[in-house]
Amino acid sequence: MATLKAAVTARYSNTYLVQLTNPDTQGAESPDEARLDLAVSDAEREFEMRTATIFDPDNTDHLYAGVEGVIYYLKKRMGVTGEALTSEEDKWRELLRSVAMTQGKNRSIVGTSSNLTIEKRGANSSQPVTQKFSPRKTSGYRISPPRG
């Protein structure tokens, strides 16, 4: 897919998109392109704000979430309220959280720059020996955080 708009039009029928984009026009035969473009733009913008990553239509996770976002915005602007809109919003926000946690720039990356001190059990000396951490070499040792 080249764009989010193309993905939306490929996944949903023309009739459904006509209903979502023309809520106040009887007898419309094609989707309102201006409303569809605005929903696409808003979904991409919110995607980027909430996930801290640039929307990439070639990324299937981005595209999947983006399509749901466009439908959410179209329903919201159509005047859908209550549980129907809340369920769409919850689905959209959960997809955004998932992308943010796996691909966003603000995700937590576990790591440390601390040196570990390793003391041999039963050693007479309380002087810590600083070594690089290796799970294979720590058998029989007690690992303590650095002092100081």
Phi, psi values for residue 143, rounded to 5°: -95, 125
pLDDT at 7: 95
List the alpha helices (DSSP H) in the chain. Answer: 4-11, 14-21, 33-51, 60-78, 83-103
Supply the pTM of this predicted model.
0.68
pLDDT at 10: 95
Rounded Cα distance between 67 and 65, Å, is 6
**pLDDT one digit per residue (tens) for the chain, 148 residues:** 479 999 999 999 999 999 999 988 888 999 999 999 999 999 999 999 999 899 999 999 999 999 999 999 999 998 888 998 999 999 999 999 999 988 877 666 566 666 666 555 555 555 555 555 566 655 666 667 777 5
Q: What is the DSSP letter of 13?
A: -
